């Protein structure tokens, strides 16, 4: 009898190819479409893929969980002057738990998605460099990762599209979804305002507190931002601090954005049980392929990163992900 697996089937090309690869490896795939209540073609595309592959498709309404675990913290983060990372919040608290619930119902040991990453013996590892998504998955727990399969970990996106055409998948040429799923327009500030989470106008100030201009509300800005400020002066300005307590956005020439030390809270350990002594790592401080060398140390309930070269504008609310080679050691929220 084929081993059952639950796959998150979004209606996009990645999950469709993942489903096909799993089926060809001998798994009995059940697709799960996660409904967030925004309509669109996702559910229909997922149904078309499931029909083409001859696999069952279930639908889970995750609107309430998404609101509690992602949308509300997302809004609260911006009100606190942070820059939240909703996908990294969603994976361990909403998306994968929904997959595991269905897996338990049907007696499946494994769940799967179309992410570009790998898992070996419960340790999260990078996918191919061009499309690696290990950063956004680094809040998954060791326990969750023990039961996860990522079929696309050794592929690049161009190869996946080629496979989709070869397999006759109906969404082979569907464009990638780049935006936050619950903000399809991509305008997060407009979403915050529409949901009653906007902040009032205030002052742009320099480091000495001198008023430079007026800003539109702190939720429009992030640390290190240099575009869209609308402030002229003797040099280009960058956001060097956000002060929600005074509703001020501090601007500078950018030379003060480097940090030799970065601190993080709520560490999630993956390749180690816990951290008891300093460790040499590379670290990603935002969703990019840039890694920097650092010494990772425990510090109270959190962590400390002593950077070998200064990190530019490590941003509260973003994720610090620690690597040794391809393996994800763990992650922590930047504070």
Question: Residues 114, 62, 94, 223: is their CA dihedral positive or negative?
Answer: positive
Contacts of 146 (CB under 8 A, 6+ apart): 122
Active site residue 87: no
CA quadruple 127, 44, 87, 100: dihedral positive or negative? negative
DSSP reduced 3-state for 270: coil
Burial of 185: CB neighbours in 10 Å, binned 0-12, 13-18, 19+: exposed
SS3 301: coil
Assess contact for 302 and 332: CB atoms under 8 A: yes
Residue 181 annotated to the active site: yes
Instruction: State the catalytic residue, choosing from 90, 102, 183, 229.
Output: 90
Distance CA 71, CA 68 (A): 6
Report how far residue 185's alpha carbon sits from residue 243's, in angstroms, rounded to the nearest whole number: 28
Q: Which of 43, 79, 181, 279 is catalytic?
A: 181
The C-alpha angle with vertex 159 and arms to 22 and 3, in degrees rounded to 5, equals 5
> CA 81 to CA 100: how far, in whole Å?
34
DSSP character at residue 23: H
- Neighbouring-strand partners of residue 7: 31, 112
Euclidean distance between CA atoms 250 and 311, whole angstroms: 19
List the catalytic residues: 90, 181
């Amino acid at each position: 009898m084929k081993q059952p697996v639950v796959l998150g089937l979004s209606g996009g090309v990645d999950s469709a190819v993942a489903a096909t690869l799993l089926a060809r490896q001998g798994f009995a795939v059940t697709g799960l479409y996660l409904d967030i209540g925004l309509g669109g073609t996702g559910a229909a595309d997922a149904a078309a893929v499931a029909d083409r592959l001859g696999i069952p498709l279930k639908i889970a309404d995750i609107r309430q969980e998404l609101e509690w675990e992602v949308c509300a913290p997302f809004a609260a983060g911006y009100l606190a002057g942070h820059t939240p990372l909703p996908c990294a919040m969603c994976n361990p608290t909403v998306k994968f738990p929904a997959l595991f619930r269905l897996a338990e119902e049907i007696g499946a040991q494994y769940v799967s998605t179309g992410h570009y990453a790998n898992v070996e013996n419960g340790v999260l590892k990078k996918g191919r460099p061009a499309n690696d998504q290990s950063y956004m998955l680094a809040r998954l727990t060791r326990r969750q990762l023990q039961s996860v399969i990522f079929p696309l970990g050794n592929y690049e996106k161009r190869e996946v599209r080629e496979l989709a055409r070869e397999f006759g998948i109906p969404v082979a040429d569907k464009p990638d979804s780049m935006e936050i799923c619950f903000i399809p327009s991509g305008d997060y500030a407009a979403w915050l305002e529409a949901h009653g989470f906007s902040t009032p106008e205030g002052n742009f100030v320099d480091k000495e507190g001198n008023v430079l201009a007026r800003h539109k509300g702190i939720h429009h800005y992030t640390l290190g931002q240099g575009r869209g400020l609308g402030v002229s002066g003797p040099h280009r300005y960058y956001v060097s601090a956000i002060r929600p307590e005074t509703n001020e956005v501090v601007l500078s020439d950018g030379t003060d954005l480097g940090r030799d030390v970065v601190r993080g809270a709520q560490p999630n350990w993956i390749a180690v049980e816990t951290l008891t002594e300093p460790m040499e790592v590379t670290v990603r401080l935002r969703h990019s392929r840039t890694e920097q060398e650092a010494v990772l140390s425990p510090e109270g309930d959190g962590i400390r990163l002593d950077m070998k070269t200064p990190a530019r504008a490590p941003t509260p609310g973003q994720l610090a992900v620690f690597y040794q080679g391809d393996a994800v050691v763990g992650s922590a929220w930047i504070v």
